Structure 1
Amino acid sequence: MRSKEDYLKSLNDGRRVMYRGKYISNIVEHPVLKISALHASKLFEYPDRSYDDQQYGKISKYFKVPKTSQDLLDRHKLVYDTTIFCNGIFNISQAIGSDALFSLMITAKKLDKKYGKDYFSRVKKYYEYVVKNDLTLATAQTDVKGDRSKRPSKQPDPDLYVRVVDVRNDGIVVRGAKAHTTQAAVADEIIVIPTRAMGEEDKDYAIAFAVPANTPGLKMIVRPIDEIEGNSSSVLSVKDYELETLTIFDNVFVPWDRVFLFREYEFAGTLARLFATYHRFTAISYRAAMANLYLGSAILSAEANGISNEKHVRDDIIDIILYKEILRMSAIASSVYPEIDEEIAIPNYIFTNIGKLYTNTHFHEVVKDLIDIAGGIISTLPSEEDLKSDEGEVISKYLRGAIDGKERIDILKFVKEIDGSSSLVGYWLTTMIHAEGSIEASKIELFRNYDFNESKELVKKIISS
């Protein structure tokens, strides 16, 4: 298995990464982007990340293919614990890629049964390559989409969904772009899957494949990291954050052994839905751990302000506990009652989407609860430069609460970053609604899979007796 140093060294491989209008020659040496790389590298330091596989020897627990409820429970715990290990920030480096790999395995077996092809052997070969080399993976699913009222093949620009533009004896050539691909710029490999169900007219867009991050024609435009560059008082983001990229495929060649779906349009939706389910299960697991940032900050802020025994404060704290534990309960229930498909365990569709929908619609309440406890000072707190100036002692004198001023300021700085007027909380408010699937996507999936028969039969029995 790789070390942290092995991983960081591997990133200097000629990949095309742009940040604020300039291509970056070495991510690990960049003052801002290196933080994301170092965050990813923490996975290689996690003390309990490996297990002994009968076939492959010692490998990452993230690559254990779930077969049972216990496997899913173990995966939930792994996501939760590694998030805590990384200061409450999800480490996606092998989580999202393994979500995609499990989905590809199931879909490939179905494809092979219908068409007599060898997709599963391709997926298995790629899986073995990833496992044996202990690679990090990004998954590019969300196309840029263009006009949302039009299907992929009906867009005014045909490249607004990733598509096949050439078929060769040795592989395919693809073009298009995927949006907000998390940690792509610091991943070893990029897995690409469809974002939606496709019709026959969209078959050129019904593709899935994997490429190394330094593949010619692959370009990654990193979002601005305003939570660091726009906040001199940053406490958390200077330690851990994850970047996203606009991931552009400019006539990228993919060899056949890395193509996992090719124009079998009726399976695009199957693959997209499977991945969404695994990834939403991952989401509720890491968001439950992340909630500790808010719960811990709420308790410390209440103590610093001397209001721990106030009823409205206790109510706010209970709200945060409910948020955290409902997510954790959803993940556990999803594990205990899985779907089994092609001998692989899938988190329960209903419980997974209930948890995901709850976090989509209630995160803003957690933000509100912490603001209520911490107070308006988190938006008007003097700057880091002020605190380090000759007036720093005076500022500390007047910002004391039930505890020393300097200690309270440290708490307030952290709360301001995750809950006040910072770029980070604005970014989180958006991602908590849209990341791993929007509110509407979870509603659709919940309504599609929910069994209404028990409820209907109960009422029918009463009114017919």
Structure 2
Amino acid sequence: KNFLNYLTRYQEEDLVGNCAQTDVKGDRSLRPHQQEDPDLYLRVVEKREDGIVVRGAKAHNTIAPYADEIIAIPTRMMTEKDAGWAVAFAMPADAPGITQVIRVTNYRKRDKLQAPITRYGSADAITVFDDVFVPWERVFMCGEYQFAGQLASLFATYHRHSYTGCKPATTDVLMGATALVAEYNGIEKAPHVRDDLAEMVAIAELVYGTGIAAAVKSVKAPSGTQIPDIVFTNVARYHAGINVYREHEILAEIAGGLPATLPPEEDFYNPETAGYMAKYIMRKQGISAEDQHRCFRMISDLLCSAHGGVVQVAGIHGGGSPIMERIAITGQYDMKSKKQLAKYLAGIEG
């Protein structure tokens, strides 16, 4: 009931929320109740008549710096001994006791060579809950450890399914940059370039198509919401994650070393060096020096900037690392029927 009331308000006020799920976790081999510092998983430190007090931190909160609400949920399955850490709630992002330690990255600032890519970046936070008071009406789970894993898994499924739409779009950007620099270098018809581009197409469309399959095979929950097929969702997210560096590798191979050693923008406009830059950046005839410069400046941002590095690591771990997708796949896949098929073909009874 608390959550339904909150959902109604959330929709009526058109709020923006950040799902703060990932605890900092401490020693990964230990459960929440086994940690030397109990605050390494967000936990309830006090229960009152009017609410609870929580302490801990959540990491990798991409939306948090510009969200209205922080919605905290468990990050894993829990046992009865972990009941104190089985907590879910929502609080305003600027509530007393909440501190966001924010890291911002952008593609590199330009003075003259403005381009759409330079308008974008990201902001991430470690969200600290320092004895934050949460009224009962904002509490959705408090000690119900039996449901912690289910809630964590359900959010992960939705998050991973969202990747089947957004991740192919990032591949489209890398693919387009690869095709463009191949053209500008005069090698767009080279067999190895065509093979590499075909590989990128295969990655993007496999992830996107499997995401569509997950939606088509979705099931309606008792609440009325659709839950995407878990196996298809995790297969798609898995292939998206394990191919992130491969996509960047292809772009780096085709572009060559210039994205890493490209002179600063100022040297292309400095009267003493501008002529040299315009002359020696040239590749294929018919393409202006400025367009060549724009192409390599964009690729340098994609491959060599601070934000480019963030995008690569986020592409692997966002929504769950590849090992988590493999665990979900093996946990949900009907392997028994495949064994029965093998027995039938081998002539094994039973």
CA contact (8 A) 1:292 1:324 kept: yes
Partner of 1:225, secondary structure, is strand
Q: Distance in 2 between matches of 1:389 and 1:200?
A: 67
CA contact (8 A) 2:108 2:301 kept: no
1:288 Cα offset (Å): 1.3
1:381 Cα offset (Å): 0.8
Counterparts of residues 174-253 of structure 1 (less than 5 Å): 174-225=54-105, 227-228=107-108, 238-253=118-133
Partner of 1:223, secondary structure, is strand
CA contact (8 A) 2:113 2:294 kept: no
Residues 1:366 and 2:247 aligned together: yes
CA contact (8 A) 2:121 2:307 kept: no
Deviations 1:347-373 (A, max 9, x none): 100110001110111111111111122
Q: Which amino acid aligns with 1:243?
A: A
The equivalent position to 1:397 in structure 2, one of 252, 275, 279, is: 279
1:267 equivalent in structure 2? 147
2:307 equivalent in structure 1? 424
1:347 equivalent in structure 2? 228
Counterparts of residues 31-50 of structure 1 (less than 5 Å): none
The equivalent position to 1:461 in structure 2, one of 332, 344, 348, is: 344
Greater Cα shift, 444-453 or 234-243 = 234-243
1:333 Cα offset (Å): 0.4
Deviations 1:232-277 (A, max 9, x none): 9895664112211010001111111111111000100000000000
The equivalent position to 1:440 in structure 2, one of 319, 323, 326, is: 323
Residues 1:319 and 2:199 aligned together: yes
The equivalent position to 1:408 in structure 2, one of 280, 288, 292, is: 292
Q: Distance in 2 between matches of 1:234 and 1:227?
A: 12
Q: Distance in 2 between matches of 1:393 and 1:453?
A: 69
Q: Distance in 2 between matches of 1:195 and 1:375?
A: 41
The equivalent position to 1:381 in structure 2, one of 241, 254, 262, is: 262
Q: Which has the larger radius of gyration?
A: 2
Q: Tell me how large the CA RMSD over aligned residues is.
A: 1.9
Q: Distance in 2 between matches of 1:377 and 1:228?
A: 16
Q: Which amino acid aligns with 1:412?
A: F
1:151 Cα offset (Å): 0.9
CA contact (8 A) 1:163 1:206 kept: yes
Q: Distance in 1 between matches of 2:118 and 2:318?
A: 22
Q: Distance in 2 between matches of 1:457 and 1:231?
A: 66
Q: Distance in 2 between matches of 1:417 and 1:404?
A: 20
Q: Distance in 2 between matches of 1:156 and 1:236?
A: 48
CA contact (8 A) 1:219 1:248 kept: yes
1:188 Cα offset (Å): 0.7
Q: Distance in 2 between matches of 1:368 and 1:156?
A: 41
CA contact (8 A) 1:235 1:417 kept: no
Over the matched positions of the two proteins, sequence identity in percent amounts to 38
Q: Which amino acid aligns with 2:300?
A: K
The equivalent position to 1:452 in structure 2, one of 322, 335, 340, is: 335
1:382 Cα offset (Å): 0.8
Compared CA separation, residues 196 and 235, structure 1 to 2 (3 A): farther
Partner of 2:25, secondary structure, is coil
Partner of 1:127, secondary structure, is helix
Q: Distance in 1 between matches of 2:90 and 2:50?
A: 15
Partner of 1:251, secondary structure, is strand
CA contact (8 A) 1:162 1:174 kept: yes
Q: Distance in 2 between matches of 1:292 and 1:432?
A: 14
Q: Distance in 2 between matches of 1:267 and 1:285?
A: 28
Partner of 1:146, secondary structure, is coil
CA contact (8 A) 1:122 1:258 kept: yes
Q: Which amino acid aligns with 1:446?
A: I
CA contact (8 A) 1:298 1:373 kept: yes
TM-score normalised by the chain length of structure 2: 0.94
Compared CA separation, residues 203 and 231, structure 1 to 2 (3 A): farther
- In structure 1, the gaps of 5 or more residues are 1-120
Q: Which amino acid aligns with 1:169?
A: E
Compared CA separation, residues 412 and 338, structure 1 to 2 (3 A): same
Q: Which amino acid aligns with 1:359?
A: A
Q: Distance in 2 between matches of 1:299 and 1:149?
A: 44
Compared CA separation, residues 305 and 299, structure 1 to 2 (3 A): same
Q: Distance in 1 between matches of 2:208 and 2:295?
A: 26
The equivalent position to 2:7 in structure 1, one of 123, 127, 142, is: 127
Compared CA separation, residues 133 and 173, structure 1 to 2 (3 A): same
The equivalent position to 1:308 in structure 2, one of 188, 211, 222, is: 188
The equivalent position to 1:356 in structure 2, one of 216, 237, 242, is: 237
Partner of 1:443, secondary structure, is helix
1:170 equivalent in structure 2? 50
Q: How many matched pairs?
A: 344
CA contact (8 A) 2:89 2:140 kept: yes
TM-score normalised by the chain length of structure 1: 0.71
Partner of 1:246, secondary structure, is strand
Counterparts of residues 92-131 of structure 1 (less than 5 Å): 121-131=1-11
1:454 Cα offset (Å): 2.9
1:178 Cα offset (Å): 0.5
